[in-house]
């Protein structure tokens, strides 16, 4: 019995000594692990900005104590991984490289970004994520439900986390739910935020109607033109797609704060009613444009905005544009943006040099003109938060003699051609002795009379012929628009199949007759050898471009459904085809407008 007790005491003593020996090493290991990082996170300002288009910018300003020597990890709940459009990190003076899609330590369920400080050790820096607008649900009447990361996900405990949720306009009411708690304010504070926090916030918010529209800006082409006197004008061509459950009747566009003489047009060249929207920001101008027709969910529209900017300054014989922003502080995300600086003929760009340009910039030097093009993806106001290149100093030299170059060239060319024509006319008599009689005969015909079957070269064009051609061509465009509208109604099931076939057959019959009439007048205009022949050729080229663009969009759509091209390639190809289509349609509208004006003046 005594021996048994002794053995038990010996075993207990051995266990106690072993435990005493192990505990310091465990404690020391924890201390070393805690000190390996070399820093602690004192405070994080977690800001969630909801843009006009429903896209979100989640920016975390992180205050650390100590040295951030290794790569820094920050994450979001994994459910937001498909919504991340881009991410970037910065402090007051520089940008840092960010690697997306990395694991958050050894924890699952997160989508993380790794910030590479490249040997620096900032005490305050910001990591920003730009998210899509697929996390917002529309309830109608200005009511929205917003799903957002309630807190940042970090690998260390945060002393204080201050969260702010903001909108482009002040909400009339808001209720935020996170981790089982509700608040009725856009700001809330949390102490000792645990490491690897996984928290999703739900905000039920009501904002003024029209201040939050779910849409995507597929493309934006910005043309900045500088004239020989230094005047600066800009033309922005948008391609928008509605994602709203309700019909879109107006859009708000962001322009530079010093933009003046603003004109907004639709894809057909019609001027839209527009006006400035109130904003507290001093670095942008908001313009509310009323659309000519309602836009339903999934439908796309084209818009063009024209405005003027302050003139370039003339310094020591060269023109300067100082700190000229590539893009405005857009309160939406532009998927693909392009800005092109068009200089007057004969101008030469001095700065920036080609060696100073990045991979997204192209400097084109042509015989008579230089042009600078900059492209960028996922553009928004968030790009102006970081100290990155969003503006340039453009300088170019220009000789005023170039102003008279083109007029002098054309005047000389016309003079030479006129002399050659006069000499040839004296030597060769035309087969038809007088054209005045033929012109008078055409003038006596009413506009409804079809074009003559026999076409003679050099036959002059009278006012009645122009009216007949214009009426037939505009009737043709209306018939094509009716066919497209019928197809849309049939696809949506708003019209019976039998009625659709009957109406389509009637429109196609009318369209065939109009094409015959137009082809006859085309032959007359081409044979006239005058400016009307050039007009017809321009119309033919524009129609060919329009048909090719629409056919290309159909091909890309089919290839996308078959999985032959990626979504990014599909969007880029469709955007290019849409640009060609809009340009061709604008060209046709311009030609017809000039023809109408010519007829109006003649009458």
Say how far apart CA 477 and CA 483 lie, in whole Å.
10
Quick one: pLDDT band at residue 501, thresholds 50, 70, 90? confident
Q: By the 8 A CB rule, do 151 and 181 touch?
A: no
Percent of the chain clearing pLDDT 70 (strictly above)? 82
> Measured over all CA atoms, what is the biggest interatomic distance in the chain, rounded to whole angstroms?
147
User: Coil, strand, or helix at residue 49?
Assistant: strand
Q: By the 8 A CB rule, do 337 and 375 touch?
A: yes
The residue that leads in pLDDT, 564 or 146, is 146
Say how far apart CA 356 and CA 352 lie, in whole Å.
6
Q: Which domains does the chain have, with CATH numbers?
A: 39-206 (2.60.40.3650), 215-397 (2.60.40.1730), 432-602 (no CATH)
Q: By the 8 A CB rule, do 154 and 119 touch?
A: no
The residue that leads in pLDDT, 310 or 461, is 310
Q: What is the pLDDT of residues 346-405, one digit of tens each?
A: 677 877 765 566 667 787 776 667 788 899 999 999 998 888 877 777 777 766 544 444
Say how far apart CA 499 and CA 490 lie, in whole Å.
10
Residue 517: predicted pLDDT: 83
Residue 78: predicted pLDDT: 95
Q: What is the pLDDT of residues 175-191, one digit of tens each?
A: 999 888 889 999 999 99
Quick one: pLDDT band at residue 10, thresholds 50, 70, 90? very low
Say how far apart CA 473 and CA 479 lie, in whole Å.
10
Residue 229: predicted pLDDT: 83
Over residues 13-39, the mean pLDDT reads 45
Q: What is the pLDDT of residues 102-146, one digit of tens each?
A: 999 889 899 999 999 988 889 999 999 999 999 999 998 899 999
Residue 250: predicted pLDDT: 93
Residue 16 above 80 pLDDT? no
Residue 588: predicted pLDDT: 83
Beta strands in 318-406 (DSSP E): 318-325, 334-342, 348-351, 361-365, 370-379, 391-397
Residue 409: predicted pLDDT: 55
List, in order, residues 6 or more apart from 361 with CB less than 8 Å away.
Answer: 372, 373, 374, 375
Beta strands in 515-600 (DSSP E): none
Residue 371: predicted pLDDT: 81
Structure-token pair, residue 555: 């091909």
Residue with tokens 């200089």: 343
Listing DSSP states for 488-522 in one string gives HHHHTT-S-HHHHHHHHHHHHHHHHHHHHHHHHHH
The residue that leads in pLDDT, 135 or 558, is 135
């Amino acid at each position: 019995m005594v021996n048994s007790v002794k053995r038990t005491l010996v075993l207990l003593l051995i266990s106690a000594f072993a435990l005493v020996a192990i505990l310091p090493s465990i404690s020391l290991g924890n201390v070393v692990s805690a000190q390996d990082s070399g820093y602690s996170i004192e405070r994080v300002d977690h800001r969630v900005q909801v843009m006009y288009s429903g896209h979100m910018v989640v920016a975390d300003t992180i205050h650390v104590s100590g040295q951030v020597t290794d790569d820094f990890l920050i994450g979001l709940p994994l459910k937001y991984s498909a919504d991340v459009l881009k991410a970037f990190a910065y402090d007051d003076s520089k940008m840092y490289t960010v690697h997306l899609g990395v694991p958050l330590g050894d924890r699952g369920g997160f989508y993380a970004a790794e910030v590479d400080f490249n040997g620096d050790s900032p005490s305050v820096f910001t990591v920003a994520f730009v998210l899509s607008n697929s996390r917002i649900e529309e309830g109608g009447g200005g009511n929205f439900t917003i799903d957002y990361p309630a807190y940042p996900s970090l690998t260390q405990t945060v002393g204080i986390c201050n969260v702010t949720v903001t909108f482009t306009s002040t909400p009339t009411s808001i209720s935020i739910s996170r981790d089982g708690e509700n608040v009725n304010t856009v700001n809330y504070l949390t102490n000792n935020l645990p490491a690897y926090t996984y928290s999703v916030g739900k905000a039920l918010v009501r904002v003024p109607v029209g201040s939050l529209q779910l849409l995507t800006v597929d493309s934006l082409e910005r043309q900045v033109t500088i004239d020989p006197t230094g005047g600066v004008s800009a033309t922005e061509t948008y391609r928008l797609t509605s994602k709203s459950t309700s019909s879109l009747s107006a859009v708000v566009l962001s322009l530079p704060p010093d933009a003046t003489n603003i004109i907004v047009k639709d894809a057909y060249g019609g001027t839209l009613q527009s006006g400035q929207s109130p904003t507290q920001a001093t670095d942008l101008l908001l313009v509310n444009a009323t659309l000519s027709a309602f836009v339903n969910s999934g439908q796309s529209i084209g818009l063009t905005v024209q405005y003027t900017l302050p003139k370039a300054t003339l310094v020591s014989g060269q023109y300067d544009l100082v700190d000229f922003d590539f893009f405005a502080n857009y309160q939406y995300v532009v998927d693909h943006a392009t800005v092109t600086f068009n200089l007057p003929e004969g101008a030469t760009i001095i700065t920036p040099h080609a060696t100073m340009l990045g991979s997204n910039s192209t400097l084109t030097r042509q015989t008579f003109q230089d042009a600078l093009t900059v492209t960028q993806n996922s553009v928004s106001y968030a790009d102006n938060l970081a100290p990155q290149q969003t503006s340039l100093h453009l300088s170019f030299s220009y000789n005023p003699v170039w102003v008279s170059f083109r007029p002098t060239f054309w005047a000389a060319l016309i003079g030479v051609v006129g002399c050659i024509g006069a000499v040839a006319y004296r030597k060769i008599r035309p087969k038809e002795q007088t054209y005045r009689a033929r012109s008078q005969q055409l003038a006596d015909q009413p506009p409804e009379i079809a074009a003559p079957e026999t076409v003679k070269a050099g036959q002059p064009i009278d006012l009645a012929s122009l009216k007949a051609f214009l009426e037939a061509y505009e009737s043709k465009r209306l018939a094509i628009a009716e066919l497209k509208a019928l197809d849309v109604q049939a696809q949506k099931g708003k019209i019976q199949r039998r009625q659709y076939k009957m109406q389509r057959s009637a429109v196609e019959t009318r369209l065939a007759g109009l094409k015959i009439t137009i082809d006859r007048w085309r032959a007359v205009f081409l044979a006239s050898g005058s400016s009307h022949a050039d007009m017809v050729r321009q119309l033919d080229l524009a129609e060919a471009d329009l048909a090719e663009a629409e056919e290309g969009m159909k091909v890309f759509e089919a290839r996308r459904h078959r999985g032959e091209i990626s979504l990014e390639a599909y969007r880029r190809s469709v955007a290019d085809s849409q640009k060609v289509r809009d340009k061709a349609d604008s060209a046709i509208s311009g030609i017809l407008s000039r023809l109408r004006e010519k007829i109006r003046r003649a009458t």
